[in-house]
Amino acid sequence: GNSVTQMEGPVTLSEEAFLTINCTYTATGYPSLFWYVQYPGEGLQLLLKATKADDKGSNKGFEATYRKETTSFHLEKGSVQVSDSAVYFCALSSTGANNLFFGTGTRLTVIP
């Protein structure tokens, strides 16, 4: 079946620190992979995505590379800001399907 395992949180970093949030997946076929972000009091927003192996998704300084050999899609950012404080969800969508399977979410707090 389809599942996503995400790094446990919460994560607290100082401003300008390097961020990594780990995500691994199990899926049938060739899934698409996503990172969604949820800011306080809001719904989820798509942060980035990758639809095939070795693709790199990037947005707002965040990056993630689709690694088929390690079934991973780790989120990275070189220098976090206070405004990046949010909950980050890794998700997958299996081939031909539209529904998403989510990880449990990782809460990131960035302190000045």
105 sits near other proteins (criterion: CB under 8 A):
yes
Phi, psi of 83 (to 5 degrees): -70, -10
Nearer of residues 34 and 80 to other proteins, judged by Cβ = 34
51 sits near other proteins (criterion: CB under 8 A):
yes
**Sites for other proteins among residues 52-81 (CB under 8 A):** none
Kind of pairing, strands 86-93 and 106-111?
Answer: antiparallel
Closest CA to 4 of 102, 106, 95: 102
Place of tokens 């639809």: 51
Nearer of residues 97 and 111 to other proteins, judged by Cβ = 97
Longest dimension (CA), the chain: 43
The residue ranges that bind other proteins (CB under 8 A) are: 4, 6, 32, 36, 41-46, 49, 51, 89, 91, 93, 95-96, 98-105
